[in-house]
Structure 1
Amino acid sequence: MFSSLAGRSVIVTGGSRGIGKGIARVFADAGASVLIVGRDLDAARATADEIGANAFAADIATPDGCRRMAEAAIERHGGIDVLCANAGIFPDRKLADLTEADVDEVFGTNVKGTIFAVQACTSALAASGHGRVVLTSSITGPITGYPGWSHYGASKAAQLGFLRTAALELAPAKITVNAVLPGNVLTEGLVDLGQDYLRTMEASIPLGRLGAVEEIGNTCLFLATDEAAYITGQTIVVDGGQTLPESLDAIVTG
């Protein structure tokens, strides 16, 4: 039995849809006071109304946006106990066609957004006495690759490089920093890639299905508990076994 997270202040960046929405829902269902942060206030409000949370609009790719986000959480919830740095984008672009603007866009949200969000929340996380940072990385980049996502994969690997040193620097303040690495999870973005992609991905997963957003949220919830206080600088792969087989021939079918 884990300790309750009821009443704790949680920020979920990119919480309007997809994995972020699943994370926000899991924390809200656990009784936490959740602030959903996104660029589109209407979308953030719609999700917040649906799950019983608060919404805030900010561009987390900028230090000012992250500072205002932290201030809003402190004003509305009295502090910050958990930061789920989840916001991420994955526009498809083959390496030969990548532009500087493409790379800047992805690294702006995925890497700078992670760093600035943690930086802005550090003081409040330290004051909470049980500060938790959970990053949403990916198996793509740190473990696997996929054509068209070289810039995305590089950004997700960069998050883990940041994580390890951040965990060291924030440990004296009793703040833990960990990451979840989702495999293929059924989200709006994945559906947009088409049914052929979905079928191919399902066939490559030993458990035979795509993940649910709440399954990523449950892992984040665990890392935010008091029972996970001795875990920091670590990564948890949540992929249904996708990274295990050497080839499709290695997948056992019933």
Structure 2
Amino acid sequence: MFTLATWNINSVRLREGLVARLLRDEAPDILCLQECKSPVDKIPLAQFRELGYGHVVARGQKGYNGVAILSRLPIEDAGDRDWARLGHARHVAARLENGVTIHNIYVPAGGDIPDRAVNEKFAQKLDFVAEMRDVFHADRPERAIMVGDFNIAPREDDVWSHKQLLKVVSHTPIEVDHLLAAQEAGGWVDITRQDIPEGQLYSWWSYRARDWDAADRGRRLDHVWASPDIAQAGHGSRVLRGVRGWDQPSDHVPVFASFDL
């Protein structure tokens, strides 16, 4: 069995101490980070290695995007893809010794206006997810886990108010349709909702809220999916809501799952 976590850290250099705290307190075997905002050679790995995370694959760029996989288990670099030809560091894959491939993906946020005709960022987001659909349809994943900040909350109970967010980027019908089409194309199973099928569940709370906890206007933007051949091995999902209350936190919190593989 191994335990995996995904977390949009919103600058790994700024929040190195929070990453170290999570590794000490929760000790996942694998931690996938998004929005590292750092070139690979500037990611502060020394403290993570001291904590036992000596295996790393990452893709980075200065100030934006960036994804990294930290592991206590041996992993090998399994490549990356430049989704929608954006030239962004938004994907990296690692392969475990048991042959399971872990994909760490950071889908574009999409800006503020949910109209591709007037908002290039929204168009890029839709194109990114549409390419995911096409790739999974052409090459159906096997023995694969895909995690990350998908920047889409697909279910009505993945947001604080389905009705009020229908025209807000991250929960618009066109985004949800695109994400569900990508999920269906690959046969991906949403492990978090397999384990926690009912009820409101969030992994992100805006910085704009004066009291994020009391307002509780969250969205589930961070996901753990598994290919259908290994989905039944997934269990133990949890969202670490309390991390949002740490000092100088990311606006996202870690999402965990374990796999008996």
Q: TM-score range by the shorter chain?
A: 0.3 to 0.5
TM-score by length of 2: 0.45
**Richer in helix (by share):** 1
TM-score by length of 1: 0.46
